[in-house]
Structure 1
């Protein structure tokens, strides 16, 4: 992909032009993210507040009535419920993988079968998470698109 940035004349409006053979899902997601600006959430860690991009999050997990965002090597508490995060990131590659977890499909390196019809997701940061049998079908459909 080639990116060209040009500075408009002082009286011209900023314009974004996308030229492609056919838009794929990732491009559509980027356009939507730009239009809605819902690409970041606030994370809390050690009395510090950090803006987290959806691209930095590997998965969200609910534990003990709290929700955490797991990034490459850090974990942040977020002040959203899982269902709210599903709505916020519905146009991105996030999918429910268990009752208490939502995974970023872009961060999955590969899947392997697990006991009882479950799947084990091997993430790009070396972590492994279990995909609940109930959510395997929907996750496979989303991965195929």
Structure 2
């Protein structure tokens, strides 16, 4: 990537970003420049849209495609669950199954299920099942352990 930085003595400061493909790194840069924090951009039925990371309820991998769900939007995004978890290592997102990551801050209720699984009710009423493989890690997270 070519970077062109120029000091000016008068006039309005500006930043121009030219890209062939909107990557997660570019999304981070745009979020910093806009002062909106971390944003996630992806494709919807109507085009490309961006949402704040905090608005995400969960991410799900289906047939090698990654989808991000907020209350009213579904975005098809580039990358994988592993890369998302690496980028968002702040404790607010938790891998709850092989194909799903949930936003811990958007969980409204929890219920223990048989076979050591957990039913997490998200804002908006959607139910996410935390598999038994990840349930003990989730319980540790709730206790404040990492």
TM-score when scaled to structure 2?
0.70
Map 1:64-103 → 2, pairs under 5 A: 64-103=63-102
The aligned counterpart of 2:19 is none
Q: Could you tell me how far apart the structure 2 residues matched to 1:132 and 1:118 are?
A: 5
Distance 1:49 1:99, change over 3 A: same
* Matched residue SS, 2:41: strand
The aligned counterpart of 1:129 is 128
Q: How far has the Cα of 1:143 moved from its partner?
A: 2.0
Map 1:5-84 → 2, pairs under 5 A: 39-84=38-83
Q: Contact 1:38/1:88 (CA < 8 Å) preserved in 2? A: no
Q: Which runs of 4+ in 1 moved over 2 A?
A: none
The aligned counterpart of 2:116 is 117
What count of residue pairs does the alignment treat as equivalent? 111
TM-score when scaled to structure 1?
0.71
Q: Could you tell me how far apart the structure 2 residues matched to 1:45 and 1:71 are?
A: 12
In structure 2, runs of 5+ residues without a counterpart are 1-30
Q: Could you tell me how far apart the structure 1 residues matched to 2:72 and 2:126 are?
A: 10
